[in-house]
Amino acid sequence: MGNFTFTATGDSIITRRVSQRKDPAFLEMLQLIRSVDAAFTNLELMTPQAPFVPSSEYGGMHLSAPPFVLDELQWCGFNLYHIAHNHATDYMYQGLVDTIDQLRLRNMVYAGGGRNLGEARSPGYLETAAGRVALIGAASSYVTGALAAESRTDVGGRPGISPLRYATEFVLDAERMAALADIDKALGTAAVTARNRVFGIRPEEQPDAYHFLGRQFVEGKEPAVRTKPKQRDLEEIAHWIAEARRQADFVVASLHCHEGQNTDGNSAEPADFIIETAHRWIDAGADAFIGHGPHMLRGIEIYKGKPIFYSLGNFMFMFETVQRFPSEMYEAQKLPPTATPTDVADAWSQHENGTAKGFHADTAFWQSVLPICKFEGGKLAALELHPITLGLARPRTERGEPTLAGSEEGTAILDRLAQLSAPFGTRLTVEKAGNRVMGRVTL
């Protein structure tokens, strides 16, 4: 493989058309996306068809849009799409299958979901003038019913996503462990656990673990939370990455992973199992690892000469203009039957006194970078970082649409990313790029 260029974004929650936009900061950003050989985005919503049957278990908010949003993403220049995430079955299995059908109708290359586990695990392939690209997708953040299942000779498979399951163990010192056991006994839950074991109802146990209310505790010197990927999933996906390495010139591995340190779901520090996973998948043959999920930037690592983006945050964040929500969404926000989708969006974004809350209360959810990766002879030769803003201060009809950031905001974004990347040994420099700024990773 000769010269090859690649870019990636985090979550695309797109519910409006953007192809009518003419502002220079938006068009300059599109020029960057369209200039590369392969451009990746995480499609974090589904395009279900009528009758729109919602799932009772959903990823925080039922996210859907008409199929035209797929045309808009193609128009932007994307040609690799990830569909494994916590919203994949917001509209049941059929909503996922409907979305896959719409992707196939447009010849869009996708990965991470399928009509059974084999489809969900397997790569999508993109043919470019610079070489063949493979995409492998999976999610560690998902609702329970979203997991794809393999077919058997006597029972069919199940549509869903490719999962990367992980185990969490809580470390407590001896004194706290004794107190936990005392509480377990006093509540009567220890006896329930013992009866469940008799009937074979038990979690995956390790010999030195104590199980309390569905959590696994182990004794140690200092309290801590530790996570490990489940080896079966880790290695099954690594197997498919190795297969993709044999079939393609460039391999992208992607994981939807909200999980942060100490079970925090939207934070800047990735959980330990994500780091282990990224390293394993690059060892298996991936040329780049793309993380997304927490809706904010996480650090960048260069591992064995390959880029790891632990999270690229949001690219499009138009959750305020979702056109329809099921009844559960209104009930969750304590809204009356006469309420509208806009009432749901308001309840999500502001307190009763009008002050911002949730995603609207932190600019970190509305800032990211667009990386431009340049490979020469299969090796990463340059990595540019172009800061983008999603316009938190703009009106709802424009908010969540990305543009290149101005110099002041762009510098602040790159400075924060440099701090997040420093623990991974990654150094960033900030350069002037016309009337804007650009980050460059030291290789």
Rounded to whole angstroms, how far apart are CA atoms 392 and 317? 10
Q: Average pLDDT in the 237-265 region?
A: 96
Q: Given pLDDT bands bounded at 50, 70 and 90, which one contains residue 341?
A: very high
Q: What is the mean pLDDT of residues 149-154?
A: 92
Q: Check pLDDT > 80 for residue 198.
A: no
pLDDT at residue 59 is higher than 90: no
Calculate mean pLDDT across residues 156-183: 94
pLDDT at 201: 64
State how far the Cα of 163 lies from the Cα of 139, in Å rounded to an integer.
Answer: 5
Cα gap 58→227, rounded to integer Å: 24
Average pLDDT for 177-189: 92
* Confidence at residue 205, expressed as pLDDT on a 0 to 100 scale: 58
Domain ranges of the chain: 3-152+230-441, 174-219
- Confidence check: pLDDT of 206 > 80: no
Q: Is the pLDDT of residue 204 over 70?
A: no
Q: Mean pLDDT throughout 229-242? A: 98
pLDDT band at 255 (very low <50, low <70, confident <90, very high): very high
**pLDDT at 297 > cutoff 90:** yes
When the candidates are 3.10.180.10, 3.30.70.141, 3.30.530.20, 3.60.21.10, the CATH number that belongs to 3-152+230-441 is: 3.60.21.10
pLDDT tens-place string over residues 156-165: 999 999 999 9
Tokens linked to 169 = 């163990």
CA angle 398, 323, 69 (to 5 degrees): 65
Cα–Cα distances (Å) from 246 to 123, 132, 242, 253, in that order, read: 12, 11, 7, 14
Q: What's the pLDDT score for residue 195?
A: 82
Judge whether residue 411 has pLDDT over 90.
yes
202 — pLDDT class (breaks 50, 70, 90): low
| pLDDT band (50, 70, 90) for residue 197 | confident
The percent of residues in the chain predicted with pLDDT above 90, rounded, is: 87
352: pLDDT confidence band, cut at 50, 70 and 90?
confident
pLDDT at residue number 434:
82
Q: pLDDT tens, 105-135?
A: 999 999 999 999 999 999 999 999 999 999 9
pTM for this predicted structure: 0.95
Strand partners, 82: 42, 111
The lowest-confidence range among 74-88, 197-211, 299-313, 327-341 is 197-211
